[in-house]
Every structure is written in structure tokens, then in C-alpha cells.
């Protein structure tokens, strides 16, 4: 029983129908390997999916890039916090020195006291223009500083700054030293 090309084409075998036509015409039909990507007559299509190894390789590369980026972001944030803490410390020391230059003395709340916290009450002469210890009404320190729930001025990590005022007299001359502690050893500046 011989099947012609039109019968194969009706049944959905286009590749075999083309081969049959070439044979009937007496032409030399080239032999092609079955499943070859170059063979348009094959009934099997080439696979268009990724292998498991390829997918795992891409996932590992993405994970490595994400971890490197996360480490870099963490370091950048830590550096930003340190820079912010340095700036806040400089601003606070500068404000206390400006106050002393303006009035010739420190506010009554801090005279002769050591290891004060940085509560809003202690900083009021610097940030509140209507405070009685600030007769000129100057704002020497940014009033929008970060305060915690206990109304203490805190560093970028949430720890309150500590103030220390030391006073000494040498031959009827009074000297005052202001220092602000950065309480956590892990956050010391290099």
C-alpha cells in the first residue's frame, strides 16, 4: 500500500509529505539527522528551557551580588551614623562654648556639675530662646535634635550623650572645660 503526499499532508505529517513529494518527483532528497536543529522536517522541536544547573548558577550569582551590596550598604550606613554623631558632638560643644563666650559663664544648671545627661532641661539655655538662663534669646543649638522618650538628646544609635563640666581655679582665674562623652566603646572613632 502506497501513501501519497496529499494523504500525509491531510493527516498532519508535513515533513513526511514534503519528503514523499521529493521522492515522487524523482529528486534526490538529502538525508538529515532526526532531531537536528537545522532540519525543518523533523517532528521534534528543540527544547527552549533552562537546565537546573544554569538556573542554580544564576541564583548563586544573584545571591553573591546581593550579599556584596548588603555589606556595602551596611558599611555606608554605619559611616553615615558615625559622621552624624561627630557632627552632633561638634555642634553641642560649639553651642556650649558660644554660650560661655556670650555670657562669660555657664548656665546655673551645669555650674560645678559633672556627668550630666543631655536632657532637654539641661540643654534648654541653648535651644530655648525664652529660657531665663538665655537673656539674649539666642538659639545656639538646633532645637530639632533627636530626643528619646526620656527627653534625652541621643546619638544615632539611640544612646544618650553625657556631659561633663570641670572647673578649676588657678591664681584667681577660673577655667572651665566642657566635654561630651560618647558612651559606647564600639562606636569610638578611629
CA distance 159 to 99: 25
Q: Does 174 score more than 80 pLDDT?
A: no
- How far is residue 80 from each of residues 68, 99, 118, measured CA to CA in Å? 18, 28, 22
What integer pLDDT is reported at residue 65 of this predicted model? Answer: 96
pLDDT tens-digit map of 32-57 = 545 455 555 555 555 678 899 999 99
Residue 154 has a CB neighbour count (10 Å cut-off) of 18
CA 76 to CA 123: how far, in whole Å? 30
| pTM assigned to the model | 0.55
- 8 A C-beta contact, residue 113 and residue 166: no
CB 178 within 8 A of CB 133: no
Given a contact cutoff of 8 angstroms between Cβ atoms, the answer to whether 115 and 164 are in contact is yes
With vertex at residue 81, the alpha carbon angle to CA 75 and CA 79, rounded to the nearest 5 degrees, is: 35
- Out of 4-18, 71-85, 110-124, 127-141, least confident range: 4-18
Amino acid at each position: 500500500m502506497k501513501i501519497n503526499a496529499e494523504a500525509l499532508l491531510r493527516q498532519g505529517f508535513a515533513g513526511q509529505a514534503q519528503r514523499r513529494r521529493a521522492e515522487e518527483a524523482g529528486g534526490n532528497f538529502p538525508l538529515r539527522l532526526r532531531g537536528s536543529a537545522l532540519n525543518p522536517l523533523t517532528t521534534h522541536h528543540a527544547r527552549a528551557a533552562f537546565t537546573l544547573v544554569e538556573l542554580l548558577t544564576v541564583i548563586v550569582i544573584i545571591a553573591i551580588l546581593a550579599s556584596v551590596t548588603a555589606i556595602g550598604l551596611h558599611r555606608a550606613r554605619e559611616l553615615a551614623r558615625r559622621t552624624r554623631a561627630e557632627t552632633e558632638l561638634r555642634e553641642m560643644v560649639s553651642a556650649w562654648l558660644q554660650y560661655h563666650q556670650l555670657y562669660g559663664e555657664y548656665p546655673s544648671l551645669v555650674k560645678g556639675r559633672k556627668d550630666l545627661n543631655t536632657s532637654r532641661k539641661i540643654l534648654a539655655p541653648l535651644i530655648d530662646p525664652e529660657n531665663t538662663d538665655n537673656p539674649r534669646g539666642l538659639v545656639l543649638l538646633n532645637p530639632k535634635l533627636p530626643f528619646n522618650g526620656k527627653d534625652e538628646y541621643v546619638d544615632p544609635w539611640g544612646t544618650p550623650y553625657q556631659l561633663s563640666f570641670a572647673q578649676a581655679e588657678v591664681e584667681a582665674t577660673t577655667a572651665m572645660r566642657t566635654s561630651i562623652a560618647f558612651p559606647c566603646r564600639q562606636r569610638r572613632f578611629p
